[in-house]
Structure 1
Amino acid sequence: MSTTGEPGSEEKRVTWAELYFDLVFVFAITQVSGLLHHHHDWTGVARALVVFVPVYWCWVGTTVQANIRDVDNLRDRLGILLVGLAGLFMALAVPDAFGGRGVLLGAAYWLGRVVLLILMIRITGIWHGPYGAGVLVSGPLLVVGGLLPDGPRLALWAVAALCDLSVPLVFRRRLAAVAYHPAHMPERFATFLLVALGESIVGIGATAARARLDAAELTAVAAAFTISAGLWWQYFVYAADAMRHAVVIADSRRDVIRRIFQYGHLALVAGVIGVAVGFGETVADPWRALGPGAVALLYGGCGLYLLTFGYTRWMMFRKVATTRLIAAAVVLALLPAMVRLPALAVLVTLAVLLVALNVVEHFRVERAAAVPPAPPTPAPAERPVGGPV
């Protein structure tokens, strides 16, 4: 597979059409969170995941298309908006995706993939990759699954999700010729994570707005916001610049983008959605014990988020993210003990852990910055702000 041209020396900027397109996925993430909110068991998590993957993959396909092509023109703007409409149909189908709207979700996804393929049709070999697979395999599977009863539908949609996720691995050699713009891709995925973090704020505010807002409830709001801000801090202060740096210096940008952004950010966003749904169970009644489902979403989502940084750092620099992995282990180890505690205690404990983690990371970065620089070389490597921690 080859592209129509190499990225120029100037940084590619995110277009207004892409940012407007993202607004659809603000709503889509809210709908996925709502689906998970009503079903906390493992079946509910599986349902939410197999619905979220096509939503996410439709966004990823549009982002890659905008990265490797010039989309600031009439044809591509209209195409992006049409994919956005398909995404809106998918979001509307999510609440009843395992009821009467299964076909709508599948057909909307298929429509989005067809539009993306048409937008990319001039690229040689486009059928042999994610765009062709979406039209020929995963899209039809989602439509057929929408016609089946609940259990077989879940199984077939899981196959479709695995198909979408595995295609970049299967066709990685064909995708090697794609020329990615290094600045655009990190910015787009950071924006998507920010959209997910916005859902955590909605999870706090929408629940608190219906409460009495006494001292305990306001404390729960403050603790939940501290957790959300702590998750934001981990990514945007300590990781975002390192990820961009990894793309710039990589021998194979294709591998970094696939591992760190397409796969790594799927786990990051899934973790944030779990935390957001957990907030909806904690803020309104801070003295109530949450039960295993809500605690698993809150602490399990946070643990997944932190563990993913261990994966991304290893993939980028072959280094161990020791502090984050330890913090993730502590969060997950505390999960069973939190089941019997009041929601307020659960929130405050997690907030304290994230604040402590960010403080430790801050001092590690400061200490690394204080180390005398190595002897100058003719072309010193650029070090990203905050360092690849």
Structure 2
Amino acid sequence: MGEQPVGTGEKRVTWAELYFDLVFVFAVTQVSQLLHHHHDWAGVGEALVAFVPVYWCWVGTTVQANIRDVDGVGGRLGIFAVGLGGLFMALALPGAYGSRGVLFGAAYWLSRLVLLAQVGRIRGAWQGPYGVGALVSGPLMVAGGLVEDGPRVALWALAACCDLAAPLAFRSRLAKVRYDPAHLPERFGLFLLVALGESIVGIGGPVAQSRLHPAQLVSVALAFVISCGLWWLYFGYAADAMRFALERAESRRDLIRWVFSYGHLALIAGVIAVAVGFGETVAEPGAALGAGPLGLLYGGCALYLLSFCYTRKMMFGVVSPTRLAAAALVLVLLPLMVRLPALAALGVLAAVLVGLNAWEQLRVRRSARSGSAGAAA
């Protein structure tokens, strides 16, 4: 790709992009439902394989909006066309491993073809991730939709691997692209908010039509504390650190790939897992959780915390010791929660996140007094 000017001043998120995100609110809900119905190891794998192309369509649209002016008529129509493909993918998700596999694959291919057309004026655009999506992973997704369940998962997993590997394979070409450092952190933060919104649905949806006895209200409150804790860990500390790192990075290309494209895939997947865990937990606070719901709730939280350790390592060369310790504690607690009531599992996890945020807030204040920057990434 040739270098593209981004204009003067900070690039702002457009209204078209925000409207586009509404499609992915629905898509995340559909992925959550897929995981809700099958949350054993096979179900988790299938949900991940289905989520990657949804996420990657969003990433492709976000990156092309960063390197191009998309606030004209052509740019808006392109974003809406990809949004239509995303809507078709979301509609197909409940039956993606059944009768709607072709629709899921074809909708993905349509989105990738539109994205390639959108960046087609950039020299050599097809010789990069956009070309891989349109010419390799898109056809693989359609082919997967045409075959039975086992080969379908294999072909879709291969397509996902091709997409995820493309930025690495074409990193020298991507080095020529000029990225705006303000736009991307805001966009990826907004997608994380979409996933956190799904956690609110997971809290309220299961109990909205029930009689709401006191134990349920307590479970709703504890689940909301957990959701707030997840929000605080990102937007209270990490979001500013990510923008700081991107503005000062010697290679924005590498930081975008490792921290945003890959790191946020893990962060968002962790939040979705927690959201599905809420759906299995808050309605019956007195019942013991099975291994599946508990694994989603605690395992998703641990993945979220470990993802911050990874992103901080990529940004500053060090791992966050507090988040690593909290992730280890969550994993140690997981098997101990199996026989306890759901209310207790929620309470313990809420206590861990509140304690972690309180400790990190103390570290931020100490860092502010000492004048150091970026300590709580």
Q: TM-score, normalised by structure 1?
A: 0.96
Aligned to 2:335: 336
1:9 Cα shift?
Answer: 3.4
Aligned to 1:135: 134
Secondary structure of 2:280 counterpart: helix
- Spell out the pairing of 1:355-366 with structure 2 (5 A cutoff): 355-366=354-365
Aligned to 1:25: 24
Once residues 187 and 11 of structure 1 are traced to their aligned partners in structure 2, the CA distance between those partners, rounded to angstroms, is 11
Q: Give the letter for the 1:149 counterpart.
A: E
Once residues 210 and 350 of structure 1 are traced to their aligned partners in structure 2, the CA distance between those partners, rounded to angstroms, is 26
Aligned to 1:99: 98
Once residues 126 and 79 of structure 2 are traced to their aligned partners in structure 1, the CA distance between those partners, rounded to angstroms, is 19
Aligned to 1:149: 148
1:6 Cα shift?
Answer: 2.5
Q: For the structure 1 residues 372 and 87, does the alpha-carbon distance in structure 2 shift closer, same or farther, using more than 3 Å as the test?
A: closer
Once residues 342 and 372 of structure 1 are traced to their aligned partners in structure 2, the CA distance between those partners, rounded to angstroms, is 45
Q: Give the letter for the 1:257 counterpart.
A: I
Gaps of 5+ in 2: none
Deviations 1:332-383 (A, max 9, x none): 111111111111001010000000000000101111111157xxxxxxxxx5
Once residues 281 and 22 of structure 1 are traced to their aligned partners in structure 2, the CA distance between those partners, rounded to angstroms, is 26
Aligned to 1:110: 109
Is the Cα–Cα contact under 8 Å of residues 119 and 125 in structure 2 kept in the other structure? yes
1:128 Cα shift?
Answer: 1.1
2:173 aligned with 1:203: no
Count the aligned residue pairs. Answer: 377
Secondary structure of 1:178 counterpart: coil
Secondary structure of 1:52 counterpart: helix
Aligned to 2:271: 272
Secondary structure of 1:237 counterpart: helix
Q: Give the letter for the 1:105 counterpart.
A: F
1:304 Cα shift?
Answer: 0.1
Once residues 128 and 229 of structure 1 are traced to their aligned partners in structure 2, the CA distance between those partners, rounded to angstroms, is 42
Once residues 188 and 117 of structure 1 are traced to their aligned partners in structure 2, the CA distance between those partners, rounded to angstroms, is 20
Aligned to 1:8: 7
Once superposed, which parts of structure 1, at least 4 consecutive aligned residues long, lie more than 6 Å away? Answer: none
1:290 Cα shift?
Answer: 1.1
Deviations 1:165-184 (A, max 9, x none): 01001111110001000000
- Spell out the pairing of 1:272-351 with structure 2 (5 A cutoff): 272-351=271-350
1:388 Cα shift?
Answer: 4.5
Is the Cα–Cα contact under 8 Å of residues 360 and 376 in structure 2 kept in the other structure? no
Deviations 1:238-258 (A, max 9, x none): 100000000000000000100
Deviations 1:23-62 (A, max 9, x none): 0000000000000000011110010000000000000000
Q: For the structure 1 residues 260 and 337, does the alpha-carbon distance in structure 2 shift closer, same or farther, using more than 3 Å as the test?
A: same
2:81 aligned with 1:82: yes
Is the Cα–Cα contact under 8 Å of residues 38 and 44 in structure 2 kept in the other structure? yes
1:162 Cα shift?
Answer: 0.6
2:90 aligned with 1:59: no
1:212 Cα shift?
Answer: 1.9
Aligned to 1:42: 41
Q: For the structure 1 residues 201 and 81, does the alpha-carbon distance in structure 2 shift closer, same or farther, using more than 3 Å as the test?
A: same
Q: Give the letter for the 1:129 counterpart.
A: G
Is the Cα–Cα contact under 8 Å of residues 211 and 217 in structure 1 kept in the other structure? no
Deviations 1:99-119 (A, max 9, x none): 000000000000000001111
Once residues 72 and 100 of structure 2 are traced to their aligned partners in structure 1, the CA distance between those partners, rounded to angstroms, is 34
Deviations 1:256-303 (A, max 9, x none): 100000000000000000000000000110011111000000000000
Is the Cα–Cα contact under 8 Å of residues 6 and 69 in structure 2 kept in the other structure? no
Deviations 1:222-247 (A, max 9, x none): 00000000000000001000000000
Identity %: 68
Q: Give the letter for the 2:318 counterpart.
A: K
Once residues 135 and 170 of structure 1 are traced to their aligned partners in structure 2, the CA distance between those partners, rounded to angstroms, is 16
Once residues 197 and 62 of structure 1 are traced to their aligned partners in structure 2, the CA distance between those partners, rounded to angstroms, is 21
Aligned to 2:181: 182
Q: Give the letter for the 1:166 counterpart.
A: A
Once residues 371 and 169 of structure 2 are traced to their aligned partners in structure 1, the CA distance between those partners, rounded to angstroms, is 44
Output the aligned Cα RMSD.
1.0
Aligned to 2:172: 173
Aligned to 2:257: 258
Deviations 1:195-245 (A, max 9, x none): 000000000011120322111000000000000000000000010000000
Aligned to 1:376: none
1:185 Cα shift?
Answer: 0.4
Q: Give the letter for the 1:113 counterpart.
A: R
Aligned to 1:227: 226
Q: For the structure 1 residues 359 and 139, does the alpha-carbon distance in structure 2 shift closer, same or farther, using more than 3 Å as the test?
A: same
Q: For the structure 1 residues 372 and 264, does the alpha-carbon distance in structure 2 shift closer, same or farther, using more than 3 Å as the test?
A: closer
Gaps of 5+ in 1: 374-382
